Amino acid sequence: MNQSNSTSAGAADKATLTVKLVRSVAGTRESHRATVRGLGLRKTGSTSTLEDTPAVRGMINKVSYLVQVL
């Protein structure tokens, strides 16, 4: 019945993804630019390390022509 460590133990096992912006967002749709910003990317060549969740995977899929997963 004691679950005090259940949340802290799961946090250490989180998988991560590193995403790099490899193409410019100039000339792309506004929603795609917003998605790139939501991934934490600014300039071409910038990288961001994110938690591997279905939401993040969907964002990467949406702008897959702009980013590269490292």
Please report the domains of the chain, with CATH numbers, ordered by start residue.
Answer: 14-69 (3.30.1390.20)
What is the pLDDT confidence band of residue 51, given thresholds at 50, 70 and 90? very high
Q: Is residue 8 pLDDT above 90, yes or no?
A: no
Q: What pTM, to 2 d.p., does this model score?
A: 0.80
Is there a contact between 2 and 46 (Cβ–Cβ < 8 Å)?
no
Cα(44)–Cα(8) distance, integer angstroms: 35
Which pLDDT value is given to residue 13? Answer: 75
33-70 as b/e: b if 16+ CB within 10 A: eebbeebebeeeeeebebeeeeebeebbebbeebbeee
Q: Is residue 6 pLDDT above 60, yes or no?
A: no
